[in-house]
Chain A
Amino acid sequence: MAKLYIFGIGGTGARVIKSLTMLLASGVKTNFDIVPILIDPDSAGGDLNRTIKLLRDYQNIHKTVDGYEQNNFFKNKISTLSDIVTEQGGGAKVFDGFRFELDGIQNDRFKDFIDFNSLDANNKNLVKLLFSEKNLDADLGVGFRGNPNIGSIVLNQFTKSEVFQSFADSYEADDRIFIVSSIFGGTGAAGFPLLLKNLRKGKVGGKNYEHLKNSRIGAISVLPYFKVKQNDNSQIDSHGFITKTKAALHYYARNISGNNSINSLYYIGDSAENTYENIEGGTNQKNDAHFIELASALSIIDFAHTEDIYLETKNGNASNPTYKEFGTKAARQLSFNDLFDGTKNSIINNLTEYFYFNLFLKDKMTWAIDKNYPFVSEDGAKFDKNFIQQSFYKNFLSDFNKEFRIWLAEVFRNQISFAPFAINPIANEKNEITDFEINTSNIFTLARGIPERKNKFNPFAKNNYELFVSELNVASHKLGDAPNPQKRFMGVFSQGTKALVNKKLL
């Protein structure tokens, strides 16, 4: 299968890839093997590490259920660059994970990184012209804190690294590249043009890579969609977001769109009325997931489904570059109906099915085991208390599902709010979302704006969880034999929730 390398640069990159992972888990497909490469100097970044944990759980689930046609969840393969290199028989030293580790920045100030003290007087003065004292004293271990001028220097390291070499070696003619970055921060704003320029050169480590030079490249540039609280001690000041964005757009106009170096460039942003805590980096930099990130993830899906003919590249120049923006029908609280048809149709079934799957596992799985319904105990199934104690269910699926619920509750709580389901986010004393709950006994009223399809002429019609179990029983019976219990489990829920959603909602 062809690969889609996704470079997620900075915190926004990680958060968009997180949203993409949620979509892929729900069954949205790209027809590519997804290879996320996260580039973020802030190794302790809360958002980054949440994304990495999520990707690992996804991989573990995917590996267990891979190849089982009856299952639609976690269907799209996600690989690390290391997996790809190993599959191709390579032995190059690449990072065994999703994040590229930048060398020489841990506990280092920027001035140490550029060896400022060993420069002669003239060069020191030149550097002082380009970088403020604050810039020079900046601790690189927590990222570039909104300073693309620092990022552009430090991130050069990536394109000269062994990892980038391995990436270039593994890149094949049918593969594609997508770059996710924000335009108003430090890491993303610096990393995107730098990375694109190096890709289009097609020259890595002294070797020429024609495939890479003429690769099909898409990117999303996320414009400001939040502000941070004013803090005089912080180097991040959201008053500069718009100015930085303008400056970067001017640069892009010449060096990205101006020279046709990209095949598809997506822009997205919001009026940025949303205010986050001003955290410069580290474990506490955990922002609520945002609809913009979900919409950005959809740009990756859109790019993956764009036919090759529209993405032709000759001599490092896109023959037919396209520029896209994203819009919704409403502005503040969105349900599925507030999305335009193309967007809505690409996610509504999958997200709704996964939502109900998740809800059942959260609230009713133990109950179903106690009741010993046919789908847990008949037709070859054996989903008992032992099954839900095994690592597949307990460590991977349950953890992933909890993250999915937190993600859904975060996009629900955030501004703008994406609220396709009527849920109540649950937060801890630090106001971090820990889960959601539902306040209705009729689960088919949860999909906002989508009326429940009722059987008015049958007073005995099954409803609620009884109908849910009924569909799971039917799916289980139809499934026949499955290669292993985990595949069967996912197959039953995939088919069961599909039938349920089709019958009652969509």
Chain B
Amino acid sequence: MDLNEFYSIIFEWGGLTYRGVFSDDLFTEGLYASIGLITTIISLFLVIAFYFIINRPSFSRWQHWLIMLLINFVIAFLIGLIVPQNIFYGLGIDYDIMEYITFGLITAITTTAFFILWTYCFKWWKSHAKGTPKLFFGKF
């Protein structure tokens, strides 16, 4: 399984958000791989920034974590909206703007999952935001 295929499964949520020709074109142009990599790295960077770069008691509560998550959401939405639009425009392929907005939202939601995943990788490490947030039960 190559990277494009891997990310296509993730961004199509196992087929749940498959959008026919639009999704096929994304796959054909290898956009799942590039958008997937970019959003993975951005969410990783934002999580690292929260826990280890900003890393200060005054910006360590769950509300602050939520701010980072929202930033992550907005950036991912813009990437999902703009990158395919530019590529397809260059190739002369035309889609309704709603297709791009929908994909932008899918990208944002998927990247939110990346952010949460990275959070649970790093929230246990030594930092002033250690343990933040507790989304589920106990220390989780």
Contacts and interface: CB of A to CB of B under 8 A. Distances in A.
B58 A374 contact: no
B131 A374 contact: yes
Instruction: Give the interface residue-count category, chain A.
Output: 10 to 19
A462 B57 contact: yes
Nearest to A461: B56
A470 interface: yes
Given A374-B131, A377-B131, A378-B131, A469 B126 contact: no
A371 B61 contact: yes
A81 B132 CA distance: 50
A448 interface: no
Contact of A477 (B57, B61, B126, B132): B126
Interface in A436-463: 462
A120 interface: no
Nearest to A478: B126
Contacts of B130: 374, 378-379, 473, 477
A469 B61 CA distance: 13
A373 B60 contact: yes
Contacts of A477: 126, 130
Nearest to B123: A378
A373 to B, nearest CB: 6
A371 B57 CA distance: 9
A296 B74 CA distance: 67
A473 B61 contact: no
A459 to B, nearest CB: 13
A466 interface: yes
B126 A373 contact: no
Interface string B107-140: 0000000000000000000111111100000000
A466 B58 contact: yes
A462 B60 contact: no
A372 interface: yes
B131 A470 contact: no
Nearest to B130: A374
Count chain A CB atoms within 10 A of each CB in B56, B57, B60, B132 and give the residue with the most: B57
Nearest to B54: A460
A470 B55 CA distance: 9
Contacts of B126: 477
Contacts of A372: 61, 131-132
A374 to B, nearest CB: 4
Contacts of A462: 56-58
Count chain B CB atoms within 10 A of each CB in A372, A378, A379, A462 and give the residue with the most: A378
Contacts of A377: 131
Count chain B CB atoms within 10 A of each CB in A373, A379, A469, A477 and give the residue with the most: A373
Interface string B13-31: 0000000000000000000
A469 B126 CA distance: 14
A466 B131 contact: no
A442 to B, nearest CB: 15
A470 B61 CA distance: 14
B125 to A, nearest CB: 10
A247 B116 CA distance: 82
Contacts of B60: 371, 373-374
A338 B60 CA distance: 41
A373 B130 CA distance: 8
Contacts of B128: 373-374, 469-470, 473
A374 B56 CA distance: 11
Nearest to B57: A469
B61 A466 contact: no
A411 B60 CA distance: 39
Contact of B56 (A371, A378, A379, A466): A466
Count chain A CB atoms within 10 A of each CB in B128, B129, B132 and give the residue with the most: B128
B100 to A, nearest CB: 38
B62 to A, nearest CB: 9
Interface in A462-485: 462, 466, 469-470, 473, 477
Nearest to B134: A372
Nearest to A374: B130
A371 B130 CA distance: 12
A463 to B, nearest CB: 10
Contacts of B58: 462, 466
Interface of B: 56-58, 60-61, 126-132
| Pairs of residues from A and B, 4 with the lowest C-beta to C-beta distance, nearest first | A469-B57, A374-B130, A378-B131, A378-B130
Given A374-B128, A374-B130, 13 more contacts: A371-B60, A373-B57, A373-B60, A374-B129, A377-B131, A378-B130, A462-B57, A462-B58, A466-B56, A466-B58, A469-B128, A470-B128, A473-B128
24 contacts: A371-B57, A371-B60, A371-B61, A372-B61, A372-B131, A372-B132, A374-B60, A374-B127, A374-B129, A374-B130, A374-B131, A377-B131, A378-B130, A378-B131, A379-B130, A462-B56, A462-B57, A466-B56, A466-B57, A469-B57, A469-B128, A470-B56, A470-B128, A477-B126
